[in-house]
Amino acid sequence: MMYQSTRDKNERVTASKAILNGLASKGGLYIPEKFPTILITEETFLQQTYQELAYKIMQPLLADFSEEELKKCISEAYNDKFTDKKIAPLNKQGADYYLELFHGPTLAFKDMALSILPYLMTTALKKQEVDQEIVILTATSGDTGKAAMEGFSNVKGTKIIVFYPKDGVSDIQEKQMLTQRGDNTFVVGIDGNFDDAQTSVKQMFEDQELEELLNQHHMQFSSANSINIGRLVPQIVYYFYGYQQLVKRGEIELGEKINVSVPTGNFGNILASYYAKKMGLPINRLICASNRNKVLTDFFNTGSYLKNRDFFVTNSPSMDILVSSNLERLLFEVVDKDNSRLNNLMYDLKQQGNYHLLEIEKNKLEDFYAGFAEEEEIEEVIQQVFMESSYVIDPHTAVAKKVADDYRKMEKEPLKMMIVSTASPYKFPACFIGPNHEGKEVAVLHEKTQLPIPKVIEELDKLPIRHETNIKTRDMKQTVLSLLNL
């Protein structure tokens, strides 16, 4: 199993090389050349633990990892770092099934992949006999940054530099990042938004002079964002696991189709569910749920991607994104793997801020339904779910719930709905309790809901601030050079 670049069919690499590189050359993204089929009808499927299923699903996609290597990565990643033994439990509330992906060390779904990525990367380093230091450049709108640093903290042979929008993340997300331990971790606030951070990071990947300079100092860049295939492959696993739980609990028959609603920003999480569907998971509709930054909703509904529009800082900050990187991987399928057509679309996006699909291409998006939620709707949904079920959801999950409900109204015979629950409500307490609680938000949320406070949140206030660098977006490259002493 090899990976090929979306932008150049001649660029083919193994899984371990794709993980180390992070991004393909000329801005391309790596795609598996073929998707394996996972037979859910196999007897073992219903018996498998999260870890066993992870091996079954990841093995064909990471074909150059030996059985021993991959099993070791899995057992080091999915252990008691997760506060729920199931790793990704399914929680039924009313007609909905919330796939809870926030029981990892940083309380967001990013832990599902970033707990294992450092192990995959260090294994890949050995396999490729690379003796360079890996510098992980990461852009975050709140959750990836913390999860990536937690994963890579003090991992030998790596350094990680995270850029985040200074005024674009929640207080708790920021505190989680600024208190990060580990001599190899660096966090930098910028005066721009997530798109600015991600664009500059991608430019650094494409900067040949920088690459040479890094080489001279025995370093190379890689990525912890979902542009790295090593992020996406582990994310496919939990869709199969959620489905397995539905069957085991007698909620559906094996083989029955379900809908999946995913809060979407950089398009990595929903792409992982699309890949799960391609690999044989019976998903009917992939529901792409956006917040007020609804560039994806408009894209799926019109076939035109228009990034030049107002950028809103919202109460679901992890989804405040107008350039959804992983959409390129879906487009690659939509244009029938035609590199030159894809290059043209990406060129138009870069030069004029938009691209337009042909009717025949747009018709290939029918697996998806897209919708969005305004900020007030998000707050209403959170209250409504709590009133009906005493269940607390975070604002990103509320976006997915709102759009799932919109979709359900159109279905004659509604299928079971799996809502991907991406973060702990304690990362965004203000959405439930409202403003003006002067630093007591966590206690107030607890008082109002009785939801147990995660230990990492309780400890947050006692941790010293370790990172205090804030810069202008235009100085990101210079900052990287100085952090690396180049």
Ligand X SMILES: N[C@@H](CCOP(=O)(O)O)C(=O)O
By beta-carbon proximity to ligand X, the closer residue of 321 and 457 is 321
By beta-carbon proximity to ligand X, the closer residue of 161 and 246 is 161
Is residue 318 involved in binding ligand X (CB under 6 A)? yes
By beta-carbon proximity to ligand X, the closer residue of 329 and 446 is 329
Q: In whole angstroms, how close is the CB of 29 to ligand X at the nearest point? A: 11
By beta-carbon proximity to ligand X, the closer residue of 246 and 430 is 430
Q: In whole angstroms, how close is the CB of 116 to ligand X at the nearest point? A: 14
Q: Which of these segments, 69-77, 142-150, 176-184, 335-343, binds ligand X (CB under 6 A)? A: 142-150
Q: Which of these segments, 143-151, 304-312, 329-337, 403-411, binds ligand X (CB under 6 A)? A: 143-151
By beta-carbon proximity to ligand X, the closer residue of 244 and 317 is 317
Q: Copy the structure tokens of residue 4.
A: 């090929």
By beta-carbon proximity to ligand X, the closer residue of 121 and 258 is 121
By beta-carbon proximity to ligand X, the closer residue of 226 and 245 is 226
By beta-carbon proximity to ligand X, the closer residue of 22 and 242 is 22
- Using CB atoms within 10 Å of the CB of residue 129, give its burial: 0 to 12 exposed, 13 to 18 middle, 19+ buried: exposed
| Contact (Cβ atoms closer than 8 angstroms) between residue 26 and residue 346 | no
Q: Which of these segments, 32-40, 123-131, 136-144, 276-284, binds ligand X (CB under 6 A)? A: 136-144
By beta-carbon proximity to ligand X, the closer residue of 118 and 246 is 118
Q: Which of these segments, 13-21, 81-89, 139-147, 236-244, binds ligand X (CB under 6 A)? A: 139-147
Residue in this structure with the two tokens 């350094």, named with its chain if needed: 159
Contact map string, positions 383 to 422, toward ligand X, x by CB under 6 A: ----------------------------------------
Residues 6+ apart with CB under 8 A from 133: 157, 158, 159, 218, 219, 220
Show contacts with ligand X in window 218-277 (CB under 6 A).
225-226, 265-266, 268
Is residue 118 involved in binding ligand X (CB under 6 A)? no
Residues 6+ apart with CB under 8 A from 65: 15, 16, 59, 73, 120, 123, 127
Q: In whole angstroms, how close is the CB of 319 to ligand X at the nearest point? A: 6
Q: In whole angstroms, how close is the CB of 435 to ligand X at the nearest point? A: 22
Q: In whole angstroms, how close is the CB of 269 to ligand X at the nearest point? A: 7
By beta-carbon proximity to ligand X, the closer residue of 114 and 381 is 114
Q: Copy the structure tokens of residue 186.
A: 């660096």
Q: Copy the structure tokens of residue 62.
A: 């990471």
DSSP letter (8 states) at residue 472: -
| Complete DSSP assignment for 312-374 | ---SSGGG--SS-TTHHHHHHHHTTT-HHHHHHHHHHHHHHSEEE--HHHHGGGTTEEEEE--
Show contacts with ligand X in window 338-377 (CB under 6 A).
none
| Number of residues near ligand X (by CB under 6 A) | 12
Q: In whole angstroms, how close is the CB of 366 to ligand X at the nearest point? A: 25
Residue of 465, 457, 386 lying closest to 428 (CA atoms)? 457
Q: In whole angstroms, how close is the CB of 141 to ligand X at the nearest point? A: 4
> From CA 173, how far away is CA 460, in angstroms rounded?
10
Q: In whole angstroms, how close is the CB of 485 to ligand X at the nearest point? A: 27
Q: In whole angstroms, how close is the CB of 136 to ligand X at the nearest point? A: 11
| Complete DSSP assignment for 95-144 | TEEEEE---STTSBTTHHHHTTHHHHHHHHHHHTT--SEEEEEEE-SSHH
Is residue 141 involved in binding ligand X (CB under 6 A)? yes
Show contacts with ligand X in window 150-209 (CB under 6 A).
none
Among 14, 140, 293, 315, binds ligand X (CB under 6 A): 140
Q: In whole angstroms, how close is the CB of 9 to ligand X at the nearest point? A: 24
Among 14, 144, 315, 424, binds ligand X (CB under 6 A): 144
Residues 6+ apart with CB under 8 A from 68: none
Beta bridge partners of 305: 355
DSSP letter (8 states) at residue 465: P
By beta-carbon proximity to ligand X, the closer residue of 28 and 142 is 142
> From CA 14, how far away is CA 43, in angstroms rounded?
31
Q: Copy the structure tokens of residue 388.
A: 């009906």
Residue of 304, 312, 218, 318 lying closest to 265 (CA atoms)? 318
Among 69, 143, 174, 195, binds ligand X (CB under 6 A): 143
Q: In whole angstroms, how close is the CB of 66 to ligand X at the nearest point? A: 28
> From CA 211, how far away is CA 405, in angstroms rounded?
48
CA atoms within 13 Å, Cβ hemisphere of 247: 21
Residue in this structure with the two tokens 């949320």, named with its chain if needed: 445
Q: Which amino acid is at 309?
A: R
CA atoms within 13 Å, Cβ hemisphere of 332: 20
Q: In whole angstroms, how close is the CB of 422 to ligand X at the nearest point? A: 9
Q: Which of these segments, 14-22, 88-96, 137-145, 355-363, binds ligand X (CB under 6 A)? A: 137-145
Residues that bind ligand X (CB under 6 A): 140-145, 225-226, 265-266, 268, 318
